[in-house]
Amino acid sequence: MIGIIPAAGKGTRLKPITDAIPKELLICGSKPLIEHALDSMNLIGINRVCIVTGHKKGPLMDFIKDGALYDIEVDYVYQTRALGLGHAVLCTKNKVRDNKKDLFVLNGDTVIEPKSVLSEMAAVHKKEKPIATLLIHEVSDPKRWGVAKLDGFDGNISEVKKLFEKPQNESEWKEFARDGKYYAIVGVYCLGQKMYQYLEKTQAGRNDEIQLTDAIELAIKNKERVLAMKFDGSWLDIGAPKTFLLAQWDFFRNKTEKEVLALAAEWDAHASKADRIE
């Protein structure tokens, strides 16, 4: 697989700090968000990643450089305008180079724990070979995320029948309820490269953005197979002060002093490795 990390967002809800620091460099626990994403790629066995950057993301590129510190080959694509997640993924088409490998998309501001969930998801996608596999999590309020209409679970896997990006009223979200629950897409996707064709056909929707969920919905309408994998672990969506601070609390609340000191030692070792590479 080839990794894609969309990281072009402006972090508007986290201003004023994101006027000076890219959101992906904010610390979550003991390391920046972007390092959590790269750690996840390493765990899955991905050794090549394309990071989608944008305006004022120079410090992010200075931080990651060519990826040698993380034992990953890193390329960059510049998204000139923030036109949605689908557009960000489409920007990578000419950088991927290897059209035989599937894509693993992980938003740069999303942290999933345990990270082993991502390996499980990649294995499901490889085995079942759908055009897309989505990671989903139960939510009570469907308005903030793309939501999935499911066909029924076999274990923690379900066929996806329909998707909708951020429904804003009951008429839009009511059909997505399953036993009184909603399942949100958590910013993690395995995609076959045929999805580029659907992205090219996808019209801009709300806020003039090209959404990845709309492209996958187009694929579903064309009888393509799409799967969702449910997980019950920790999903940290770092998009606003509330979620950013709750993420810190969630990360540390069950850790002992010994575990925190081990994280500090890991940070020291990482810094030493960075010095050697430079």
Q: What's the pLDDT score for residue 135?
A: 95
Q: What's the pLDDT score for residue 43?
A: 92
Band of pLDDT at residue 74, cut at 50, 70 and 90 = very high
Q: What's the pLDDT score for residue 5?
A: 96
Q: What's the pLDDT score for residue 227?
A: 96
Read off the pLDDT of residues 260-273 as tens digits, 9 standing for 90 and up: 899 888 888 878 87
Q: What's the pLDDT score for residue 272?
A: 81
Residue 205's DSSP bridge partners are none
- pLDDT surpassing 80 at residue 97: no
Read off the pLDDT of residues 48-72 as tens digits, 9 standing for 90 and up: 999 999 988 999 999 999 999 999 9
Q: Does domain 2-261 have CATH number 3.30.70.150?
A: no
Residue 134 near residue 228 (C-beta atoms within 8 A): yes
- pLDDT surpassing 80 at residue 179: no
Band of pLDDT at residue 30, cut at 50, 70 and 90 = confident
Read off the pLDDT of residues 243-260 as tens digits, 9 standing for 90 and up: 888 888 888 888 899 998
Domain definitions of the chain by residue range: 2-261
- pLDDT surpassing 70 at residue 174: no
Read off the pLDDT of residues 111-170 as tens digits, 9 standing for 90 and up: 888 889 999 999 999 999 999 999 999 887 777 777 888 888 888 999 999 887 776 766
Q: Give the whole-angstrom CA distance, residue 221 versus residue 274.
A: 48
Whether the model clears a pTM of 0.85, i.e. scores above it, the answer is yes
The mean predicted confidence, pLDDT, of the chain is: 88
- Among 80, 48, 45, which Cα is nearest to 67's? 48
Band of pLDDT at residue 216, cut at 50, 70 and 90 = very high
Q: What's the pLDDT score for residue 166?
A: 75
Q: What's the pLDDT score for residue 237?
A: 75
Q: Which residues contact 179 (CB under 8 A, 6 or more apart)?
A: none
Distances (CA, A) of 239 to 8, 15, 138, 248: 13, 11, 18, 13
Residue 233 near residue 114 (C-beta atoms within 8 A): yes
